Structure 1
Amino acid sequence: MAFSRDPLDELVVPDGTEAKEVDLVTDGDVLVGGRSTIEFGIRGRNVLLGENVEVDGAIEAEGDCRLDMWCDIDDDVLVGQDAYLGERVHINGELKVAGDLDIGDDVDIEEGFEANGWIVIRNPMPTIVFLFVYLKHLLLIGEDDAAQQLISEMVDEDEEAETEPLVIPGNATVNDDAWRVSTPARIGSDCRLHGNVRAETIDVGADCNIFGSLRARGDVYVGNGTRIHGDLTTRDGDVVLEKDARVLGDVSCDTLDIAPRAEVDGTIRADGEITMGTTERDLE
């Protein structure tokens, strides 16, 4: 996976992600920025959480799991390979690790832990902090190849993997009521999410079901066949609805571009033009 800027500057929901009752489920890695609150459990390949992240559910990682200091997990943590826990991590369940366990001071695991490999008690370096500070530095000095290699080694160890990671920026709130971030949001295709999406800009792929409204300061794009079960509102941006997209609510924007067979069930409020025809992305 390639990054041209800080990867935590955008909410990224990869193709096929589902919010399944109590869990966020994805086939790829999960990266969560510091001071975020995730009111779901998390199931993915490698799971990396920044400092002061709260998870109101269990974590299941097929690969490695890295929890930086002050993380609070409200259920079990199950790890298929190695686990790294920073100081003062709290797990309100049990910890099971198939590989090695690297654990910091004052870690509180309510129901005990077991690891099949080595257990080392020390203060592991905050992984997310180190990774992205170093990444920013490499990008700043123009070392794009080195930055790509760092990401490949630390996050996407399987070079053949094609699944994009689920990325939740710092200070985000994610629950079945709202996905609230202060960054752009990009949602892939074939996703099924519950909750209103609040972001700087919003890009939704094809054939998604979003059971909530979309609200952005800037532009909103809705892909082919996607259904938005709520209102779509932008403060200063434009809206594009691709063919067969459907908004089961009102649309409020600057300009609106509607492709053939796209539908808006509610009221349309546009300060600028309303265009009905082939959208620019269809022409690419």
Structure 2
Amino acid sequence: MSLGTDPLDALEIPDGTTVEEHDLVTDGDVVVGGQSTVEFGVRGRNVLAGERVTFGGDIEAEADCRLDMLDDVAGNVLVGNDAYLGERVHIAGRLMVSGDLDIGDDVDIEEGFEANGWIVIRNPIPTLVFYFIVLSQLLRLGEDEAADELAETLSGESPHDPLVIPRNATVSDDAWRVSTPAHVGSGCRIHGNIRAKSIDLAEDNNVFGSLRARDDIVVGSGTRIHGDVTTRNGEVRIHEDARVLGDVSCNDLVLEAGAHVDGTMRARGEMRIHRDNLPREAE
């Protein structure tokens, strides 16, 4: 995982992420910034959440789970390795931990817990806060390589990119709302409208909702958008074999060969149609 100036500066949805019934499912880690609301359950490798995060369903972590202070989980928490709970975490269901459990003060687990390893009760520093304090200091000192190495160590040997939900985000069947850019990998199946500063979708995605951004929107080849695509100030680029099952409204519009828009197209500036396939612009 390569880091920029802030590890939580964008919504990052990695390849193959899906919404299955009421669960958000990904092969890699799940990292949720503080004061966010995730109305789904979550399934991933490691699950890490900042302070005051709300989950609307179960958490299933194949490896470790780290929940910081005042997090709230509406269902069960199932952990394949170790679990770390900050003070005043609330779990409405049951906590099952295959490894060790490190638990802070005033944690409320309504249906009880079971841990196969050591159980330590104390008041630790919030884990996600500690990680990002260290990462931020490394980045501030210009030690980008050291920061990347630390991030790789924290995420283990997983070959999969993490799912990153930035601070103060809301993720639900209705909408994915963030104030940051949003990047979606390939082969994802997403339910809900996406609202972000800018939106970049890679190939072969299915989004059952609309896209709305202040800046540019890119719809990758083979992607289907079951809704409108709207940007206030930016460009919309729709790549070959992509399809928008709705209207497009933007400043500038670029349609690659084979792109389809089923609704009305409105461009306040230029509208360009490329007859030949063009390579996707480098970011």
TM-score bracket relative to the smaller structure: over 0.9
Question: Using the alignment, how far apart are the partners of 2:213 and 2:280 within structure 1?
Answer: 23
1:248 aligns with 2:245: yes
Question: Using the alignment, how far apart are the partners of 1:99 and 1:28 within structure 2?
Answer: 20
Match of 2:127 in 1: 127
Matched position secondary structure for 1:136: helix
Match of 2:215 in 1: 218
Q: Structure 1 residues 283, 63: CA separation in 2 closer, same or farther (over 3 Å shift)? A: closer
- Is the Cα–Cα contact under 8 Å of residues 257 and 279 in structure 1 kept in the other structure? no
Match of 1:16 in 2: 16
After superposition, give the CA deviation of every residue in 1:10-69 in whole Å (9 maximum; x if it has no partner).
Answer: 000000000111000000000000000000000000000000000010000000000000
Q: CA deviation at 1:130?
A: 1.4
**Map of 1:194-209 to 2, 5 A cutoff?**
194-209=191-206
Question: Using the alignment, how far apart are the partners of 1:263 and 1:144 within structure 2?
Answer: 41
Question: Using the alignment, how far apart are the partners of 2:142 and 2:5 within structure 1?
Answer: 11
Match of 1:269 in 2: 266
Matched position secondary structure for 1:230: coil
Q: Percent identity?
A: 64
Q: Structure 1 residues 11, 164: CA separation in 2 closer, same or farther (over 3 Å shift)? A: same
Displaced runs of 4 or more, over 4 A: none
The residue identity in structure 2 corresponding to 1:245 is: A
Q: Structure 1 residues 149, 283: CA separation in 2 closer, same or farther (over 3 Å shift)? A: closer
The residue identity in structure 1 corresponding to 2:100 is: D
Q: CA deviation at 1:283?
A: 7.1
Q: CA deviation at 1:79?
A: 0.2
Question: Using the alignment, how far apart are the partners of 1:165 and 1:186 within structure 2?
Answer: 12
Match of 1:104 in 2: 104
Q: CA deviation at 1:3?
A: 1.1
Matched position secondary structure for 1:129: helix
Match of 1:230 in 2: 227
- Is the Cα–Cα contact under 8 Å of residues 258 and 279 in structure 1 kept in the other structure? no
After superposition, give the CA deviation of every residue in 1:244-267 in whole Å (9 maximum; x if it has no partner).
Answer: 000000000111110111011111
Q: CA deviation at 1:196?
A: 0.3
Q: Which runs of 5+ in 2 are unaligned?
A: none
Question: Using the alignment, how far apart are the partners of 1:282 and 1:198 within structure 2?
Answer: 23
Q: CA deviation at 1:148?
A: 1.3
Match of 2:80 in 1: 80
Match of 1:157 in 2: 156
Matched position secondary structure for 2:8: helix
Match of 1:116 in 2: 116
Question: Using the alignment, how far apart are the partners of 2:137 and 2:27 within structure 1?
Answer: 29
Question: Using the alignment, how far apart are the partners of 2:100 and 2:237 within structure 1?
Answer: 49
Q: CA deviation at 1:279?
A: 6.4
**Map of 1:39-58 to 2, 5 A cutoff?**
39-58=39-58
Matched position secondary structure for 2:57: coil
- Is the Cα–Cα contact under 8 Å of residues 32 and 170 in structure 1 kept in the other structure? yes
Q: CA deviation at 1:2?
A: 1.3
Q: Which runs of 5+ in 1 are unaligned?
A: none
The residue identity in structure 1 corresponding to 2:105 is: D
RMSD between aligned residues: 1.1
- Is the Cα–Cα contact under 8 Å of residues 240 and 279 in structure 1 kept in the other structure? no
1:167 aligns with 2:164: yes
After superposition, give the CA deviation of every residue in 1:125-161 in whole Å (9 maximum; x if it has no partner).
Answer: 111111112211111111112111211222x211xx3
Matched position secondary structure for 1:124: coil
- Is the Cα–Cα contact under 8 Å of residues 256 and 278 in structure 2 kept in the other structure? no
Q: CA deviation at 1:280?
A: 5.3
Give the TM-score taking structure 1 as reference length.
0.97
Give the TM-score taking structure 2 as reference length.
0.97
Q: CA deviation at 1:5?
A: 2.1
Question: Using the alignment, how far apart are the partners of 1:252 and 1:268 within structure 2?
Answer: 6
Q: Among 249, 255, 259, which residue is 1:258 paired with?
A: 255
Matched position secondary structure for 2:125: coil
- Is the Cα–Cα contact under 8 Å of residues 257 and 277 in structure 2 kept in the other structure? no
Matched position secondary structure for 1:66: strand
Question: Using the alignment, how far apart are the partners of 1:244 and 1:280 within structure 2?
Answer: 12
Question: Using the alignment, how far apart are the partners of 1:213 and 1:133 within structure 2?
Answer: 36
